[in-house]
Amino acid sequence: MKLLLITEQREGKWNKVTFETLAAAQQIAQHTNGSLSGVVLGKGVAPLADELAASQLAEVLLVEHDLLEKYTPDGFSLALRQVIESAKPDLVLLPHTYQVRDFAPALAASLGKGMIGDCIAYRYENGKLIFVRQMFQGRTAADVVFAGDAPWIATFQAGAFRADLAAKHTSGKAPVNSLSVQLAPEQIRTKPLELFREAKQAVDLTQAPILVSVGRGIKAPENIPMAEKLAKLLGGELCASRPICDEGWLPMDRQIGSSGQTVAPKLYFALGISGAIQHVVGMKGSRTIAAINKDQNAPIFEVADYGIVGDLFEIVPAIIEELEKTGHS
């Protein structure tokens, strides 16, 4: 099987998920006895192509164009369509980033193909590649296979594979070959403007040793102080899953997950968080995870070390009382 990895960079810096997908692609190449090439796309990105060439790859394709300096969905789809038509891979793999979800479905459709997005694993059984993705917010997994002819396009979720398992090239470096693409300014309908961050983040949750995190199960903003009190007693910070911040019950800078901060405290205490994958990717590296949820099948229990199935409005006050009684340093 011939594989093609599409890497992601912005302003000359890698998106780190690229290397997780590289590790996945190398494993699939090995399993299927195939070959893997990597694509670096942009303008002035030759140094990145050179860096990528140190990985176990058959070839690095360097695709440069003035119109690829800044990301646009039109520019990237049109360029990658030409790359795919030229390289003729069977399987195209991309990291499931915000940028990829912005263009990859259109790229696939422009080739008349479908995309299996946001995969968390794969299996190779009897000559067949099976992709595993989540449904129902992580409450079920699904085995998905491609139908129809190659090329097939799939994306892997952040955190699904370990970047440190990506193999270095065994004999020096992979060749870097330039591939030219034709793009005209009038084909690019989006005008990208400046990148910016919102007001400086007030709290750096990545530095907190203990985090108490609230989800939908907290039910109403009036219940937030209870969680806050628990956080204070534990010597930690309060944070939340996205819906809580969307509701405005806590500021956006306290959000954990794919659109918020990624944390790895020594204790992550999840209150009423179901554990949708967008949240779990932001906290699964925590040393110890405790979770209270009324649903015993909630996906948060898949990553929790300590699980409590029950009513958090009964259990949290009991924990607060116990902490006040025994003290905690």
Partner 1 sequence: MKIGVCVKQVPAKDAPLAIVEGAAWIRESDIGFETNEPDSYALEESLRLKEKHGGEVVAISMGPDRAKQTIKEALAKGADRGIHVADDQFYKLDPLASARSLAAAIKGENFDLILTGLQSDDQGFGQTGVLLAELLGRPHATIIMQIDVVDGHMKLKRELEAGWFQWVELPLPAVLSIQSGINKPRYATLKGIMAAKKKEIATVSRASLGIADAPTQRVERIYVPQKTKKTEFITGQPKEIAAKLIEKLKHEARVL
The CA distance from 239 to 274, in Å, is 15
Q: Considering only residues 32 through 91, tell me which ones interact with partner 1, judged by CB under 8 A.
A: 73-74, 77
CB of 70 to partner 1, least distance (A): 9
Which pairs from 242-246 meet CB under 8 Å and 24+ separation?
A: 242/278, 242/279, 243/215, 243/216, 244/214, 244/215, 244/216, 244/218
The site for partner 1, by CB under 8 A, has a size of 94
CB of 167 to partner 1, least distance (A): 23
Q: Are 265 and 286 in contact (CB under 8 A)?
A: yes
Q: Which residue in 47, 85, 178, 306 binds partner 1 (CB under 8 A)?
A: 306
Q: Considering only residues 214 through 233, tell me which ones interact with partner 1, judged by CB under 8 A.
A: 216
The CA distance from 152 to 140, in Å, is 24
Structure tokens belonging to residue 255: 């959000």
Q: Is 7 left (phi over 0), alpha (psi -120 to 50) or beta?
A: beta
**Which residues have CB under 8 Å from 319's CB, separation 6+?**
230
Residue 128 or 168: which CB sits closer to partner 1? 128
Residue 104 or 174: which CB sits closer to partner 1? 104
Indicate the DSSP class of residue 55.
Answer: B
The answer to the question of residue 142 lying near partner 1 (CB under 8 A) is yes
Exposed / middle / buried, residue 33 (Cβ in 10 Å: 0-12, 13-18, 19+): exposed
Q: Considering only residues 308 through 327, tell me which ones interact with partner 1, judged by CB under 8 A.
A: 308-310, 314-315, 317-319, 321-323, 326
Q: Which residue in 46, 58, 87, 141 binds partner 1 (CB under 8 A)?
A: 141
Applying CB under 8 A, which part among 42-50, 136-144, 161-169, 171-179 lies near partner 1? 136-144
Q: Considering only residues 103 through 132, tell me which ones interact with partner 1, judged by CB under 8 A.
A: 103-106, 108-110, 113-118, 130
CB of 64 to partner 1, least distance (A): 22
The answer to the question of residue 246 lying near partner 1 (CB under 8 A) is yes
**Position 227, amino acid:** A
Q: Which residue in 32, 35, 82, 99 binds partner 1 (CB under 8 A)?
A: 99
CB of 29 to partner 1, least distance (A): 21
Using alpha carbons, list the distances in angstroms from residue 255 to 97, 142, 196, 206, 319.
Answer: 18, 28, 18, 11, 24
CB of 278 to partner 1, least distance (A): 9
Q: Which residue in 33, 126, 127, 147 binds partner 1 (CB under 8 A)?
A: 147
Residue 26 or 77: which CB sits closer to partner 1? 77
Partners of 152 in the β-ladder = 91
